[in-house]
Structure 1
């Protein structure tokens, strides 16, 4: 996985890239890893002309067996709010896996933002939490910004990424747009296959299904936003304390 140890599949990708004559930077882009990682891997295992995936994997496993076993580290201490960091990380991983349809790095960034108390993180903070390169963070944030799930803010020279209370409303709208795209695509097939043919009738039915689903999803999202806005704005009036005088 990006940010962790290279796998055998990663090494096969490197070997294939070298056979195709690709530059290290292009191979790194295919893997979603820094160019320096690819360069070190190739230099350590025979160079660009002698690199073989199976040999590199065997050498890595041999080096790992020679390393002394690490001393057991003490369990991480609870955070300032008394939460177990391991439990938090496990939940972030679960949330990442359940964010279907979202690219892997974007899902990891979104999970970090969603589980942070402030809902605001910088590139440096995300890099430290996810153990990946700033370029990988930028790629994930780019997708989230494009679909409206995060927004960017500038704090002096630092760029911060922000998630707010309406993120799921916007995520739901992304889903409705996807439904509408399905409806339009399927509807186009009716003319191609003929409206009176069995295939055309099937496509017309599917198009109607997606149109109705889109309308229902949009209405549900708007209902949530209005209800949530009313709940948030309904702040009870503060009761006067004994000794308080009349308002000026």
Structure 2
């Protein structure tokens, strides 16, 4: 078995510090860096890219809605064209900070990610925004969602993403963050869930049912207060289970 272990990072802004990015980067195989719209700023983007490059970790863009106050987790009604341009703009901004002006992947953030997981036209717009920059740049999208379907339809490479620190609904969607049981913080529970996903290609939903999925990459959110402990425990568990950790 093999899996890409990714984390959403670079989400500090100005004088406000969020997460343990430098430490987390040493434990993962790829990172999704905020591009200044939902979080991050030019200085944070540059610093996060530099640390990731030094560690040999693959770098992806993490574009979101222009909503710093809501951390990109509030829904916005934008046209497909607006979403396409929003994604292209943010990819270009982060790409400029890399030493070779190339990225490894793109993963939408927050409300944009979750809306597109259920809205095919929105998902297509995101894929087109990526293609505008690089038609070979992979999309990271929720396993089994409209994001994956859209990527296949337009010919964009895609990695099916699963979440160790989020609970699932019976239909394969993530439990909304507005609900108290949306986020899991216990490192041992998260490690066991991810191992189940890899070994059985299923995850236990909140009603006890089994949701089928095909994991290519697993995410741990960098803003989770236990992020560093979670990533460390997860990495240890996967290595002990002889799972190879490598970027998609």
TM-score (norm 2): 0.25
TM-score (norm 1): 0.25
The structure that has the greater radius of gyration is 1
> Which protein is richer in strand relative to its size?
2
Q: Between the two structures, name the one with larger relative contact order (CA 8 Å, sep ≥ 6).
A: 2
> Which protein is richer in helix relative to its size?
1
